[in-house]
Amino acid sequence: MMRIFKRYVLLLTVATVLFSIVSVSNSIPFILFHGIGDKCSGGVSNFTQLLSNLSGSPGSCLEIGNGEPDSWTMPLTQQASVACEKVKQMKELSQGYNIVAQSQGNLVARGLIEFCDNAPPVINYISLGGPHAGISAIPKCSFGPICDIAEALMKWEVYNDFVQDHIAPSGYIKIPGEMTKYLKHSKYLPKLNNERPEERNSTFKDRFSSLHNLVLVMFQSDTTLIPKETAWFGYYTDEGFESFLPTQQTKLYKEDWIGLKALDDVGKVKFVSVSGDHLIISEEEVVKYVVPYLTQTKFFYGEKFPAICSPCNLVTLLLHSGFNLSPIHSLSREIGNGEQDSVYMPLMQQTSVACEKVKQMKELSQGYNIVGQSQGNLVARGLIEFCDNGPPVINYVSLGGPQAGISDIPKCSSPVCQMLKTDVYSDYVQDHIAPSGFVKIPTEMSEYLEHSKYLPKLNNERPNERNSTFKERFTSLHNLVLVMFESDKVVIPKESSWFGYYPDGASTPLLPPQQTKLYTEDWIGLKTLDDAGKVKFVRVPGEHLQMAQDDAVKYVVPYLKNQPTLICIKRYTSYLLASSTSSKIKGVQDQCSNSKVTSFTQLLSNLSSSPGYCLEIGNGELDSVYMPLTQQASVACEKVKEMKELSQGYNIVAQSQGNLVARGLIEFCDNAPPVINYVSLGGPHAGISDIPNCSPPICQMLKTEVYSDYVQDHIAPSGYIKISTEISEYLEHSKYLPKLNNERPNERSSTFKERFTSLHNLVLVMFQDDKVVIPKESCWFGYYPDGASTPLLPPQQTKLYTEDWIGLKTLDDAGKVKFVSVPGEHLQMAQDDAVKYVVPYLKNQPTLSS
């Protein structure tokens, strides 16, 4: 089975240049097993080097015996044994390694995985044309006399002891209709595939199902493997050649003899089909299907996965767990020696190591985000709560984190697991087995609180040791995203990912997070964060850490991007400039550091002789899109109350969407300093009926699912989209504007109205050619009547005005409202217009009210 490889020189050259800069010192190595009739020198050596160049990972071809002859004449059991001893002697593989195998070499590779005791773990296994379910015909042979002898012997009696002991391929020839002979006399494949009912070995299955990824490549025109589907574990029925079973219909799969179904159920098996005859694979296909599983970096806890860059400027620290998941990203640092220390290094020590590493990383000094997976979340939280003088954590995304503890160690029979089940609160286990630090048996709370050395401290559970610093640090997060996996069988109960757990002293009922003492008594600040709208409880389908890319894009990526949001504030002798949303919604990007915003703020300050400030909310442009307006208004409220220079009162200038934050500040903010004058530039006060010139997915969600809870909670402009023909949906499900405008008859707040009518001056500027705020008259509170898209009502004919829901009529009757129309498109204001319509309301000349 000689390997044939298509060479595309240009691609190889480019790929080699691109990947030659990748350091292999932090990469997980791989070994390659060649097929029958081949050897490590020559073409196989070139292929191994190519994979190393493309992946940036060190690789070597593992020769067994003397190469080509032994690939035919050495029994596969012996080949697997030789491979096992060689691997255990290779120090570079001691922390784990990947395997690439060709043709018959796959059966040696699998023997290494299943049979080799005390060996380093195999992470990813890529099979190229492997005869996993057997072959029904003798493979081609072109190695002279050896072939003639081998073929003659196999044709004579393949299941004869002599043939089984001297001809390697006889170990995987499986003739349909001769299953009794095969099961009784074949000396390799029946054992490898756990086919003999009375000899099934759970250890073989456990080892095979521990793979992180299994890539099965089948060649569509394969004339060597018969049937070619054996490369996917598909095969004929036991009775004969008449019926063929695809993989999922075989007993091996359905009864899960080796764990193939278990791997497939959690998305770890990749069934790949490529064109070409046996082992003929192009470089493009190698880059697509093989290289991603060899491109490895060492993460916290030692699991090695593809390093995929995230397009964020705010550095993201990815804390990885000891469990399985290919991460979304990113910048990573090893704690200890990897996987081993993820199990045996106590979590407190892991946290201490992480803390020191983070403080040494200059790129994190201005703040960073964290994504934590499974156990890694407890190190992440230790970093947040325990790390003195560390840089601030901005956003924290928890994927399947055992935040409230776990009550059981499922599907585990190793000595370590038994110690966790029987002696979990002993000093020895607490000091030597990391997961013991978050095992929380609800019926043994006294033991847990007294002897558990990590989680009780992390969750501030001991009444006499509660630490306000831990709480303050945790509540300083901008966003906390808690992702729970619906079919999680690792974190028990899965609701622990949301801080839900059992009550003390009982295993029922399961309490949702809001009913736990940790939440109601706010031990770590979870309730504080939740009350401020900063906690996102996310539920996704799948088992532990099995996250679809779409879910990652939807729930994780938005909190990793570093694009600051703007909201700027002014008082009686200063002013607030509240910025518009980002270009993804309206085409103009604004933030406090933006030269246009800075210049405009300075211009107003110079012209009015009043100090002005631009105050960021969240992390900038990103949060202007993704942070709900209620939360933006809450953040603005807290910041304003902390600014001593605003304590005697202040003015506001707001642009576009920023006006709705400004009005939330005026109407919703308790115990805040008074707003004197409020100047609105292009504000969508009555709502908008459309998102023009918009095609990205976010805009499509605003157009099609605007009143869904998800969109309302994650996309800011959804809070003021008002479709006049869907008023019932708007009033019931929109989470911001109906409240701001006092539109719900049974929820009208006199306090909101009193605060709004306390303004000394309200200046409403509409841009005559505005194509962003639709209709532009919304800037004056004009809008369509309920249930129709025509006619357009001027503000004085709307119910908001005539019934005076927020006090607009009261202000207007007192001559305090200025309806201003200026030429130009959205926010395109001439300096003369600014001097005429804005500056007079920023000068430090108090307005008296009667």
Q: Is 850 a catalytic residue?
A: no
Q: How far apart are CA 561 and CA 559, in angstroms?
A: 6
Q: How far apart are CA 188 and CA 818, in angstroms?
A: 89
Q: Is 374 a catalytic residue?
A: yes
Contact 777, 797 (CB under 8 A): no
575 has which bridge partners?
A: 570, 651
- What ranges make up the beta strands (E) of 408-557? 479-485, 535-540
Residue 33: phi and psi, rounded to 5, are -110, 125
Q: How far apart are CA 824 and CA 635, in angstroms?
A: 32
Q: How far apart are CA 417 and CA 403, in angstroms?
A: 20
Query: Which residue type sits at 277?
Result: D
Query: Which residue type sits at 623?
Result: D
**What SS3 class is residue 640?**
helix
CA dihedral 516, 518, 520, 526 (to 10 degrees): -120
User: Which has the closest alpha carbon to 376: 427, 315, 317, 310?
Assistant: 317
Distances (CA, A) of 384 to 236, 313, 317, 473, 538: 56, 20, 12, 6, 21
Q: Which of 38, 488, 530, 590 is catalytic?
A: 488
Rg of the chain on CA atoms, in Å: 33
Omega before 227 cis (within 30°)?
yes
Q: Which of 34, 132, 544, 685 is catalytic?
A: 544
Query: Which residue type sits at 616?
Result: E
Could you count the other beta carbons within 10 Å of the beta carbon of residue 5? Answer: 15
| Non-local CB neighbours of 338 within 8 Å, separated by 6+ positions | 95, 96, 298, 301, 302, 303
Q: In the sheet that 122-128 helps form, which strands lie side by side, from edge to edge?
A: 59-61, 30-33, 97-102, 122-128, 213-219, 269-274
Q: How far apart are CA 561 and CA 775, in angstroms?
A: 32
Q: If you write DSSP's letter for every residue of 352-410 in order, what string do you get?
A: HHHHHHHHH-GGGTT-EEEEEETTHHHHHHHHHHH-TTPPPEEEEEEES--TT-BS---
Helix pair angle (658-668, 750-757), 10° resolution? 110
Query: Which residue type sits at 777?
Result: E
Contact 298, 338 (CB under 8 A): yes
Q: Which of 57, 374, 656, 734 is catalytic?
A: 374
Q: How far apart are CA 729 and CA 722, in angstroms?
A: 9
Helix pair angle (76-89, 105-115), 10° resolution? 60
- What ranges make up the beta strands (E) of 476-594? 479-485, 535-540, 564-566, 569-572, 575-578
Q: Is 605 a catalytic residue?
A: no
Q: How far apart are CA 338 and CA 772, in angstroms?
A: 52
* Residue 598 tokens, joined: 């800075």
Query: Which residue type sits at 348?
Result: M
Distances (CA, A) of 83 to 31, 86, 108, 119: 11, 5, 8, 11
Contact 593, 564 (CB under 8 A): yes
Catalytic positions are: 374, 488, 544
